[in-house]
Amino acid sequence: MTHATREVPVVAIVVAAGSGSRLGGDVPKALREVGGVPLVARSVTQLAAGGVDAAVVVVADGTQGAFEAALADAPIPCGIVPGGAERQHSVANGISLITLHGSLEDAEVVLVHDAARAFVPAEVVARVIDAVRQGADAVVPVVPVVDTIRELVDEASVVIDRSALRAVQTPQGFKRAVLAEAHDALAESGQVVTDDAAAAEYLGHEVTLVEGSREAFKVTEPFDLVIAETLVARGKLS
């Protein structure tokens, strides 16, 4: 298994504040279990295997106790912080905790990961970390788009050349200063973005792409949960 070379601490902000309304159930999505293990715990384990030294888990306010219990046996230290109104506000709260936590003050590489991508291979995590260490400001794992895509144009539609398209995954990696500066700029401007790479691009930083994995799929709907359960039961996912 490939691991990034450890130098200064690598910290991951794990976004787990979503309610998971499309998935259903009576607990937050990140606490749903696959093979008896909560998705958030699986995410943290995979991040640690790829070279992450500590995690900041951003959760819905009022659920901190449940997440502390879910992460009691995590292989790395996990801080827990409440999220905000939008995803970018949640990430900003995570950045703030890194800044306040003395043991993480030397961290230069920060990853942002969706807890619902609980099966991301360690090799993908390591590739993201290595790319940042080698000088990239912002790094995104991607996979080719396999479906035919049509764009709606007025009342018709046209086929898009998928050979030039890539689907974006997480963890996304950043130089810590770049990520913090980008979120400060978003807060000041009121601009809303869909992911953290877009936040970095907002300030003019180039985004570097690395190879992702089909295993880093996002558990969003009941069908995804069934697939995850089946693959884990068959030993196809860790």
Taking the CA atoms of the chain, what radius of gyration do you get in angstroms? 17
Predicted local confidence at residue 7, as pLDDT: 61
**Residue by residue, what is the 3-state secondary structure of 153-215?**
ECCEEEEECHHHCEEECCCEEEEHHHHHHHHHHHHHHCCCCCCHHHHHHHCCCCEEEEECCHH
Q: How confident is the model at residue 20 (pLDDT cuts 50, 70, 90)?
A: low
- Digit-coded pLDDT (tens) for 36-46: 999 999 999 99
Give all domains of the chain, ordered by start, each with its CATH number. Answer: 10-140+168-233 (3.90.550.10)
What's the whole-number mean pLDDT along residues 25-48? 93
**179: CB partners within 8 A, 6+ apart:** 91, 95, 110, 112, 138, 196, 199, 200
In contact, 32 and 25? CB cutoff 8 Å: yes
Q: How confident is the model at residue 24 (pLDDT cuts 50, 70, 90)?
A: low
**36: CB partners within 8 A, 6+ apart:** none
Largest CA distance in the chain: 56
Average pLDDT taken over every residue of the chain = 92
Neighbours of 91 (CB within 10 A): 26
Please state the pTM of the whole predicted model.
0.92
> CA-CA distance, 34 to 193, in Å (whole number)?
30
Predicted local confidence at residue 85, as pLDDT: 84
Alpha carbons within 13 A on the beta-carbon side of 185 = 16
What's the whole-number mean pLDDT along residues 45-55? 97
Q: Is residue 19 predicted with pLDDT exceeding 80?
A: no
> CA-CA distance, 102 to 100, in Å (whole number)?
6
- Digit-coded pLDDT (tens) for 117-163: 999 999 999 999 999 999 999 999 999 999 999 999 999 999 999 99
Query: Nearest-5° angle of CA 138, CA 142, CA 148?
Result: 140
Predicted local confidence at residue 237, as pLDDT: 86
Q: Is residue 56 predicted with pLDDT exceeding 60?
A: yes
> CA-CA distance, 223 to 238, in Å (whole number)?
19
In contact, 200 and 207? CB cutoff 8 Å: yes
Residue of higher predicted confidence among 19 and 30: 30
Beta strands in 19-84 (DSSP E): 33-34, 37-38, 54-59, 78-82
